[in-house]
Amino acid sequence: MSTPPYLYLPPLDRARSTRTGWGRLHWEALADHLLDSVAPYATDDAAQYRMPGRNSRSGVVSDGLEGFARTFLLAAFRIAGANGEGVDDLIERYSRGLAAGAAGSWPSIVDRSQQMVEAAAIAIALHESRPWLFERLDVSTQDSVRSWLGGFVGKRTWDNNWILFQVVTEQFLASVDGPHDPAEIERGLDTIEPWYRGDGWYSDGAGANYDYYIGWAMHLYPLLWTRMVADDGGRGAVYRQRLREFLAQYQYFFGADGAPVHQGRSLTYRFASVAPLWLGALFDASPLSPGQTRRLASDVVRHFVERGVPDERGLLTLGWYDTHLPTTQEYSGPGSPYWASKGFLGLLLPPDAPVWTDPEASVPNDRDDTVMALPRPGFVLSSTVHDGVVRLLNHGSDHNLPAPAPARDDPHYAKLAYATHAAPDTAPAAWNRDVDGHIAVLSAAGTPSRRTRIERIAVADRYASSWHTATVDDSAYRIETASVARGPWEVRIHLVSGAPGRTVRDGGYAVAAATAPTVTTGTGWAAATTPDGLTAAMIGLSGWANAATHTEAEANAFGPRSATPYVRAVHPGGDAVYVSLVVLSADAVHPDALARGFAVSVADRTVAIRYPDGELVRLRLGDVPAGAARYHRVPIDGPPVAVLA
């Protein structure tokens, strides 16, 4: 794919960046294009940027502040990266906006308000551009800025990453003799400690909240806080080690073409997903080499640019590639996508830093098929070299508070699987039908049960398992699901326990494109293939009666026409075991051959699966005695692997 004609970029640098062709000049050019393109949408006093698009629940004035704050963050990185040279227009624009905004154009900071989010962006931007901007403001404007940001002191935040907005805002204020409360700063940093789960993973608040916020918020803000203090009390070393451990796994979340795994909320922030990669370079806290860091970050941004992001107006819209409101949340307004500014953090590194000068280097996903269990978030990642697809099997992230708080489901968290090249159907009607990536028991009217609170069982090797309660009319079903990943395949095993007579349905990936995918069915299987050759298939290996394909329109972030293969059967009552083969591949897929190539036997709650090459996997579902194997894999060319109860 190529850069759209309305976006001018320098010639590709194939000498230093053999894979992406992108270097620092390309990043600067894209930043300048984004900043130039929002200028016409500034209010007369430059304090707000009111881009076109759906307003958020916070209203147009808050959205205008958001547009200012988030583009100001990008401007600050650009100003600091240029050492203030050749960026006088940015300095003038945002100085003028700061003066008017702090003097009254911005709404005051109140408890749990959107202003808190934007205050943090402004505080970071002011800190990073301080010699060229804040220190050149007149005394009256400096006082106004201190006063407006100081409205944060004593206010309540939401109990998630928002606590860090208070930390960085008040720490900046402390550095400029503004109002602040040291106890609030310490309390905020202490609050995130119970949310740290190990191996580099935080949860975004209590519960099981694992998504891109872990990188672009939970790691980002504490480390940027250390840039504001003379003595971090030893916290910085801890934060750097955590980031290093996180990035060792995070590097696997990107496909060969730069596509990030499409999971979690606020996906409209797009290339903010590369912020933790740059953060690792900025703080010397990365297991990646400088060439690997730039290669991954540039690959992601190039991926979006080649697919029309920003659009022909130079704007970042509410969506993924095109505008797609079901991808967003009600807190998202026209300025929200400009949290993508975090992805330009690398501009803070000087032009002669190794991350900009070293040759691009390959990453593990370039060389080998990989399967990686991530026990902390409850994920298994599976990537394939031949098509560059990464699949995420989800048995741990549900975005719910711990019980007894009520649980709900969300298409960006409740699905059994996500991927770099496929997205869930998220339009309201499609979400009500909830076909893709979901095991459901259907009511008499066809309404599917929901997967709300995910109760984790085990995550190791190529295997993950969990259970949830599915409520249908007045009946409750216990559904235990185990997933085993290998290449483009997921063997998905369900133990469904409950009353007889209801239909059970298991959905595969939704694949989408501008034109309708081609759908095919056979005995016990169904498949859908996009015009560019991406195939999703569902093959019933045991327990299923038939298969079909479900289609949607305007429901998917990857294109207006989507299709999902699924299998189904009538539940006999009591305990029943169902085994599916879930496929997502850009290679040729032959469902009949796969159905014949896998051998499955079910004995009570024990399932044995023999792969076409002879590898054997045995699983035990339900209650398993302590010390007994839940999962046992016997490869054809290595030692056995067991996961014990």
CB 426 within 8 A of CB 327: yes
Give the pLDDT of residue 622. 98
Side-chain half-sphere CA neighbours of 82 within 13 A: 21
CB 586 within 8 A of CB 534: yes
Q: What is the pTM of this model?
A: 0.98
Query: What is the C-alpha separation between 326 and 341, in angstroms, rounded?
Result: 22
The domains of the chain are located at: 24-358, 370-593
CB atoms within 10 A of CB 358: 16
Supply the angle between the helices 60-81 and 88-100 in degrees, to the nearest 10: 150
Give the pLDDT of residue 387. 98
Give the pLDDT of residue 1. 78
Query: What is the C-alpha separation between 72 and 88, in angstroms, rounded?
Result: 14
Residues 558-579: pLDDT tens digits? 999 999 999 999 999 999 999 9
Query: What is the C-alpha separation between 472 and 494, in angstroms, rounded?
Result: 17
**Across all residues in the chain, what is the average pLDDT?**
98
Beta strand ranges found along 182-302 (DSSP E): 196-198, 201-202
Which 8-state DSSP code applies to residue 243? H
> Which tokens hold the place of 167?
């930390």
CB atoms within 10 A of CB 519: 17
Q: Which helix (H) or strand (E) holds 354?
A: helix 354-357
Q: How far is CA 529 from CA 128, 260, 505, 539, 582, in A?
A: 47, 21, 21, 15, 14
CB 549 within 8 A of CB 521: yes
Q: Which of 267, 241, 407 is nearest to 325 (CA)?
A: 267
CB 632 within 8 A of CB 642: yes
Phi, psi of 180 (to 5 degrees): -165, 165
CB 411 within 8 A of CB 286: no
Q: Which residues of the chain have pLDDT under 70?
A: none
DSSP string, 34-74: HHHHHGGGB-TTSS-B--SS---TT-HHHHHHHHHHHHHHH
Burial class (CB in 10 A: 0-12, 13-18, 19+), 293: buried
Give the pLDDT of residue 364. 95
Query: What is the C-alpha separation between 355 and 346, in angstroms, rounded?
Result: 8
Give the pLDDT of residue 162. 99
Side-chain half-sphere CA neighbours of 16 within 13 A: 17
Q: What is the dihedral of CA 346, 347, 348, 352, to 10 degrees?
A: 90
Supply the angle between the helices 162-175 and 139-149 in degrees, to the nearest 10: 150
Give the pLDDT of residue 256. 97
Q: How far is CA 428 from CA 124, 339, 394, 434, 552, in A?
A: 36, 25, 22, 10, 11
Give the pLDDT of residue 571. 99
User: What's the CATH code, domain 24-358?
Assistant: 1.50.10.10
Residue with tokens 């109990």: 159
CB atoms within 10 A of CB 85: 8
Residue with tokens 């200012």: 68
According to CATH, the topology of domain 370-593 is Beta-galactosidase; Chain A, domain 5 (2.70.98)
Which 8-state DSSP code applies to residue 203? P
Beta strand ranges found along 410-545 (DSSP E): 417-419, 439-441, 455-460, 463-472, 475-486, 489-498, 503-507, 511-513, 518-522, 525-529, 535-542
Burial class (CB in 10 A: 0-12, 13-18, 19+), 636: exposed
Amino acid at 477: Y
Residues 355-411: pLDDT tens digits? 999 999 999 999 999 999 999 999 999 999 999 999 999 999 999 999 999 999 999
